C-alpha cells in the first residue's frame, strides 16, 4: 500500500513538474558575438556575455512562448582593433556568424565605430537584431539610426555615447572641483586618435563656458613613451586639472611620470589601462588619486542596485577578478535585455523582438534602469538609477577603484593628491 | 625666447634620455645587420617576448628579478640563434626573402603571444629602483637614469667586445670583408648565429630596461621595430657609430619637437628621418653599401 502511494506521489510530481517547467531540450538560441579577441575589450566582453548566458541557462534558459530554450554563444574574432586590418574583415565575421553559425541575434561588436557602422547595413540585409555593448561610442551612430530608422532599426546600443560623459557628467564633476576644491585651471592632454582628439576639442571649447581656464592643449602620438615635457608644461602653466583621454597602454608611463614629477594637477578622463583592477599593481600605486570614467556603473564594484552587488560577486567567482574595462556590465546586461525582450515577444521573430526591445523598461539592472530611445535605439542615460542607465567615474584610492560619481553610485568621496595641498 | 629658455634644461635632460632609449631599441638591429648583413625584422617581437618571458619568470615562477632577467635574456639569445640556424640560413643572401622571412617570424612570435593570452594591460615588470631626483631643476626618475647608464655601458662593452675578444674580432672580420675572413678560417654561418644571438639579447636588454617604465604589450613590438629601422637608416645600415649619432639626432629632434612644435609630430620626426635619408642620402650618415650608386 505504501509503495503504491509513493509511486502515485512520484508520478503526480513528475506530471506537475512537466506542466510547470517547460522542456529544456529545445533548440538553443544562438547569440553571435563579434569580438576583437586579441584585445582586452574583446576578452572582457566575452567573459561577461558567457557569465550572463551561464546564469540564464542554469535557470532553464529563455522562455520562448511556452518553451524554454538555452542560449548558445558563438564568438568570432573581428580583429577590428588591430592596426591595419580593414573593416571588411569585421564584416566577413559578422556575415559568417549569421550565415554559417546561424546566429539568431548579434550581441557585442564590432568594437570600432567605423566597423560597426559598416556592419549596420548587414544587419539590415539579414534582418538581424544587433545589441552593441562595447566600443562604438560615437554620437554619430545613434544619429545614423535616428536619421534612417527603417533601415537601421535593428541596431540597439546599451552603453551610450561620449556626449554623455562630456556634456552631462563632466560639467557636474568640474563644478564639484570648483566649489569644493577651488580648482579652475585645466590642461587638455589627449591621444592622437579620432575619439580622443574630438574629446580634447570639445573640452577645450566647453571648459571656458563652464568657468574654467584652459592653459594648454597637447595631443600626444599613439605609442609615445615619454610625457615629461608635456607634464612640465602643465606645471609651468600652473594647471590644476589635466583632462586626459587615451586608449593606449603607454598611458601607464604617463601616470608614473605624473606621480614622479609630482605634477600639482588632478588627472581625470578616460584612459583605458587605468580601468583595470590590475592598474594599481602595474603602476605600483602611482595611479593613486587619478579619476577615470568606466562608462557604465557595474564596471567597478558598486551597490547601486542589489543586482549590481550580485553581479560583482558572480563575476569574481567565475573569472577570479573584479569586473574590468568599460564594457563588462553592458555586455552582461545586453544578454538579459535580449532575454527580457524575447520572453515578452514570445517568439524569436525579428520584428516582434524588435518591437519588444523598443518597449524595454528593465528596472534595477546592474547599472540602473534600462530603456532605449525610440528613435535612435540608444540607451537612456541619467544620473539616477531609477530614471535611466548610470555612468560611473572612479578614483584610485588605496589600491581600490572607488566610485565617486554620480552621487547615487558613489562608494567614497573624491580626494586630492597631498602634493596639491 | 622666454618660453624656450624655460624648457632648455628639460630638453637637454630628456633629449639625452630619449636618445639613449633609441640606442637601446636599435642596438640589436644595428649589430646584426652590421655583422651579418641580415635585416632582422623579428627584432621588435624579440623585444616584447623578453618582456613577457621576464614577467613569467618573475610573477608565475617566483624567481628573483636579476635571475628572471638573466634567464629571459639567455632564452631570447637562444631564440635569436635558432631563428638563424633553422630559418634564415636557408634564405641567406636573398635580401627580400630575409626581410619577409624575419618579419614573418616576428609576426608568428607576436601573434603566438596573443594566442597564449598575453593581451590586455595587466603585464608589467618593476623598475629597478623606485623614486626620482632633480637634475638642474628637472625631476627624473631613477629608472631613466639607469637607462642612460645602461646605454653607456652597452656602448663601451660592445666596443671592448669587438676590439679585444677573439669572437668580437672575428665578428668584425666578417663585417669588414666576409670572403677574406672566411679565407682566414672564420666561419660565416657561426658568426651569423652569434650575431643573431647577440642582437636578440640586446633587443631583450632594451626591453628589460625600457618596459619597467610602463607595461608590456604586444603592440610595442611594432613601434620598437619602426624606431630601430628609423635609427639604422638615418645612421647608415651596418654602422654602429652611425647608429649612435642617429639616436642622438632623432632623440633630440623628437624632444625639441615636443617642446617647441607639437607633441603629436613626435612620431612624424622618425618617419620624416627615414624619408629624407632615403631621398637625400640613401646610405645614411655613415653607411657605405650604396655610396657607389649614389655617386653614379
Digit-coded pLDDT (tens) for A234-282: 988 999 999 999 888 888 899 999 998 899 999 999 988 889 888 998 8
Q: Does the structure show a pLDDT above 60 at A43?
A: yes
Residue numbers in A near B263 (CB within 8 A): 218-221, 224, 229-230
Give, as one character, the DSSP assignment of residue B129. Answer: S
What cell was used for A230?
A: 608635456
Judge residue B254's burial from the number of C-beta atoms within 10 Å of its C-beta, 0-12 exposed, 13-18 middle, 19 or more buried. Answer: buried
Would the CA dihedral through A197, A199, A205, A211 be positive or negative? negative
Per-residue pLDDT at B289: 60
Q: Is B146 on the interface with A (CB under 8 A)?
A: no
Q: Are B247 and B26 in contact (CB under 8 A)?
A: yes
Whole-number mean pLDDT of chain A? 89
Per-residue pLDDT at A6: 60
Best mutation target among A197, A226, A248 (most B Cβ atoms within 10 Å) is A226
How many whole angstroms separate alpha carbon A389 and alpha carbon A387? 7
Tell me how long chain B is: 296
Per-residue pLDDT at A365: 93
How many whole angstroms separate alpha carbon A335 and alpha carbon A341? 10
Per-residue pLDDT at A8: 65
In order along chain B (296 residues), what is the average pLDDT of each group of 10 residues?
63 92 93 87 96 94 94 96 91 88 93 85 86 86 92 90 85 80 82 91 95 88 91 88 92 90 86 86 76 50
Q: Does the structure show a pLDDT above 80 at A129?
A: yes
Residue numbers in B near A83 (CB within 8 A): 219, 222
Q: Does the structure show a pLDDT above 80 at A51?
A: yes
Q: How far is A222 from chain B (nearest CA, A)?
A: 8
Q: Does the structure show a pLDDT above 60 at A1?
A: no
Give, as one character, the DSSP assignment of residue B52. Answer: H
How many whole angstroms separate alpha carbon B237 and alpha carbon B287? 5
Q: How far is B272 from chain A (nearest CA, A)?
A: 15
Q: Which domains, ranges and CATH numbers included, belong to chain A?
A: 17-160+302-370 (3.40.50.2300), 163-294+391-420 (3.40.50.2300)
Residue numbers in B near A271 (CB within 8 A): none
Residues forming beta bridges with residue A242, ordered by sequence position: A187, A267
What cell was used for A246?
A: 587615451
Judge residue B9's burial from the number of C-beta atoms within 10 Å of its C-beta, 0-12 exposed, 13-18 middle, 19 or more buried. Answer: middle
Cell 645614411 -> residue: B284
How many whole angstroms separate alpha carbon B63 and alpha carbon A352? 59
Q: Which residues contact A60 (CB under 8 A, 6 or more apart)?
A: A21, A22, A24, A68
Q: Which residues of chain A have a Cβ shorter than 8 Å from any chain B Cβ?
A: 38-40, 43, 83, 192, 218-226, 228-230, 232-233, 236, 249-250, 252-253, 256-257, 260-262, 272-273, 276, 278-279, 281-282, 284
CA A193 to mean position of chain CA atoms? 20
Which of the four pLDDT bands, split at 50, 70 and 90, describes residue A50? very high
The region of weakest confidence among A5-14, A155-164, B184-193 is A5-14
Best mutation target among B264, B268, B270 (most A Cβ atoms within 10 Å) is B264
CA-nearest residue to A278 within chain B is B122
Domain boundaries, chain B: 2-217
ipTM exceeding cut-off 0.90 for this assembly: no
How many other C-beta atoms can be found within 10 angstroms of the C-beta atom of residue A389? 29
How many other C-beta atoms can be found within 10 angstroms of the C-beta atom of residue B206? 30
pLDDT > 90: what percent of chain A?
A: 62
How many whole angstroms separate alpha carbon A224 and alpha carbon A82? 18
Q: Does the structure show a pLDDT above 60 at A16?
A: no
Q: Is B137 on the interface with A (CB under 8 A)?
A: no
CA-nearest residue to B255 within chain A is A229
Residues forming beta bridges with residue B274, ordered by sequence position: none
Closest partner CB to B264 (pick from A221, A228, A281): A221
Closest partner CB to A284 (pick from B11, B126, B210): B126
Would the CA dihedral through A7, A13, A19, A25 be positive or negative? negative
Residue numbers in A near B21 (CB within 8 A): 225-226
Q: How far is B89 from chain A (nearest CA, A)?
A: 30
A348-372 mean pLDDT: 94
Per-residue pLDDT at A25: 58
Strand, helix or coil for residue A69: strand
First to last CA, chain A: 85
Residue numbers in A near B124 (CB within 8 A): 252, 281-282
How many whole angstroms separate alpha carbon A242 and alpha carbon A234? 8
CA A255 to mean position of chain CA atoms? 23
| Per-residue model confidence as pLDDT tens digits over B160-199 | 888 888 888 888 788 777 788 888 888 888 888 998 999 9
Question: What are the helix (H) ranges across A184-305?
Answer: 194-209, 228-236, 251-260, 279-282
Judge residue B82's burial from the number of C-beta atoms within 10 Å of its C-beta, 0-12 exposed, 13-18 middle, 19 or more buried. Answer: middle
Would the CA dihedral through B174, B202, B265, B253 be positive or negative? negative
Per-residue pLDDT at B147: 94
Q: Which residues contact A216 (CB under 8 A, 6 or more apart)?
A: A187, A188, A189, A233, A234, A237, A239
Instruction: Answer yes or no: do B266 and A230 touch at CB < 8 A.
Output: no
Instruction: Answer yes or no: do A225 and B213 touch at CB < 8 A.
Output: yes
Q: In what order do the strands lie in the sheet with A389-390?
A: A361-365, A368-371, A389-390, A381-382
Q: How far is B22 from chain A (nearest CA, A)?
A: 11
Per-residue pLDDT at A10: 63
Amino acid at each position: 500500500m505504501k509503495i503504491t502511494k509513493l509511486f502515485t506521489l512520484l508520478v503526480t510530481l513528475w506530471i506537475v513538474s512537466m506542466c510547470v517547467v517547460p522542456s529544456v531540450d529545445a533548440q538553443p538560441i544562438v547569440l553571435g558575438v563579434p569580438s576583437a579577441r586579441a584585445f582586452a575589450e574583446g576578452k572582457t566582453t566575452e567573459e561577461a556575455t558567457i557569465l550572463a548566458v551561464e546564469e540564464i541557462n542554469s535557470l532553464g534558459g529563455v522562455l520562448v512562448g511556452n518553451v524554454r530554450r538555452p542560449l548558445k554563444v558563438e564568438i568570432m574574432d573581428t580583429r577590428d582593433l588591430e592596426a591595419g586590418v580593414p573593416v571588411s574583415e569585421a564584416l566577413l565575421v559578422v556575415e559568417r556568424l549569421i550565415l554559417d553559425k546561424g546566429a539568431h541575434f548579434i550581441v557585442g561588436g564590432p568594437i570600432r565605430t567605423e566597423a560597426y557602422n559598416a556592419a549596420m547595413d548587414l544587419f539590415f540585409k539579414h534582418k538581424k537584431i544587433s545589441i552593441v555593448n562595447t566600443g562604438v561610442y560615437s554620437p554619430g551612430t545613434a544619429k545614423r539610426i535616428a536619421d534612417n530608422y527603417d533601415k537601421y532599426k535593428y541596431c540597439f546600443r546599451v552603453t551610450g555615447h561620449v556626449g554623455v560623459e562630456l556634456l552631462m557628467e563632466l560639467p557636474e564633476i568640474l563644478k564639484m572641483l570648483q566649489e569644493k576644491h577651488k580648482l579652475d585651471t585645466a590642461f587638455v592632454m589627449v591621444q592622437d586618435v579620432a575619439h580622443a582628439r574630438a574629446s580634447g576639442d570639445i573640452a577645450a571649447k566647453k571648459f571656458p563656458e563652464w568657468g574654467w581656464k584652459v592653459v594648454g592643449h597637447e595631443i600626444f602620438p599613439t605609442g609615445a613613451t615619454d610625457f615629461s615635457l608635456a607634464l612640465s608644461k602643465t606645471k609651468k602653466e600652473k594647471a590644476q586639472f589635466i583632462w586626459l583621454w587615451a586608449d593606449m597602454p603607454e598611458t601607464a608611463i604617463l601616470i608614473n611620470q605624473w606621480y614622479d614629477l609630482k605634477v600639482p594637477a588632478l588627472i581625470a578622463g578616460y584612459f583605458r589601462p587605468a580601468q583595470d583592477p590590475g592598474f594599481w599593481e602595474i603602476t605600483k600605486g602611482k595611479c593613486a588619486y587619478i579619476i577615470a570614467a568606466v562608462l557604465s556603473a557595474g564596471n567597478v564594484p558598486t551597490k547601486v542596485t542589489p543586482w549590481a552587488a550580485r553581479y560583482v560577486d558572480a563575476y569574481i567567482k567565475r573569472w577570479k577578478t573584479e569586473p574590468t574595462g568599460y564594457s563588462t556590465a553592458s555586455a552582461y546586461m545586453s544578454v538579459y535585455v535580449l532575454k527580457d525582450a524575447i520572453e515578452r515577444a514570445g517568439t524569436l521573430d525579428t520584428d516582434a523582438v524588435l518591437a519588444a526591445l523598443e518597449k524595454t523598461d528593465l528596472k534595477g539592472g546592474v547599472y540602473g534602469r534600462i530603456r532605449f530611445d525610440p528613435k535612435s535605439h540608444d540607451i537612456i542615460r541619467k544620473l539616477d538609477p531609477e530614471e535611466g542607465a548610470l555612468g560611473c567615474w572612479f578614483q584610485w584610492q588605496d589600491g581600490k577603484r572607488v566610485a565617486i560619481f554620480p552621487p547615487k553610485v558613489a562608494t567614497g568621496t573624491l580626494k586630492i593628491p597631498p602634493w596639491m595641498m | 625666447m622666454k618660453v624656450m629658455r624655460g624648457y632648455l634644461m628639460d630638453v637637454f635632460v630628456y633629449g639625452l634620455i630619449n636618445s639613449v632609449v633609441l640606442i637601446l631599441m636599435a642596438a640589436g638591429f644595428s649589430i646584426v645587420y652590421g655583422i651579418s648583413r641580415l635585416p632582422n625584422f623579428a627584432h621588435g617581437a624579440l623585444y616584447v617576448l623578453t618582456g613577457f618571458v621576464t614577467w613569467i619568470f618573475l610573477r608565475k615562477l617566483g624567481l628573483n628579478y636579476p635571475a628572471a632577467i638573466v634567464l629571459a635574456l639567455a632564452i631570447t639569445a637562444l631564440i635569436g640563434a635558432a631563428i638563424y640556424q633553422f630559418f634564415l640560413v636557408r634564405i641567406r643572401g636573398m635580401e627580400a626573402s630575409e626581410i619577409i622571412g624575419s618579419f614573418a617570424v616576428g609576426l608568428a612570435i607576436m601573434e603566438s603571444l596573443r594566442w597564449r593570452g598575453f593581451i590586455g594591460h595587466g603585464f608589467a615588470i618593476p623598475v629597478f629602483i623606485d623614486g626620482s631626483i632633480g637634475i638642474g631643476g628637472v625631476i627624473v626618475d631613477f629608472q631613466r637614469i639607469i637607462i642612460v647608464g645602461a646605454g653607456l655601458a652597452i656602448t663601451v662593452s660592445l666596443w671592448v667586445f669587438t676590439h679585444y675578444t677573439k669572437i668580437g674580432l672575428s665578428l668584425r672580420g666578417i663585417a669588414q670583408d666576409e670572403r677574406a675572413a672566411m679565407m682566414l678560417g672564420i666561419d660565416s654561418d657561426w658568426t651569423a648565429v652569434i650575431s643573431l644571438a647577440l642582437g636578440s639579447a640586446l633587443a631583450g636588454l632594451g626591453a628589460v630596461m625600457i618596459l619597467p617604465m610602463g607595461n608590456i604589450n604586444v603592440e610595442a613590438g611594432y613601434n620598437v621595430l619602426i624606431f630601430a629601422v628609423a635609427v639604422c637608416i638615418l645612421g647608415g645600415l651596418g654602422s654602429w657609430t652611425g647608429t649612435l649619432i642617429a639616436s642622438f639626432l632623432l632623440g633630440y629632434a623628437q624632444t625639441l619637437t615636443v617642446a617647441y612644435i607639437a607633441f603629436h609630430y613626435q612620431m612624424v620626426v622618425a618617419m620624416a628621418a627615414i624619408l629624407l635619408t632615403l631621398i637625400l642620402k640613401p646610405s645614411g650618415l655613415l653607411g657605405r653599401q650604396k655610396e657607389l650608386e649614389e655617386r653614379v
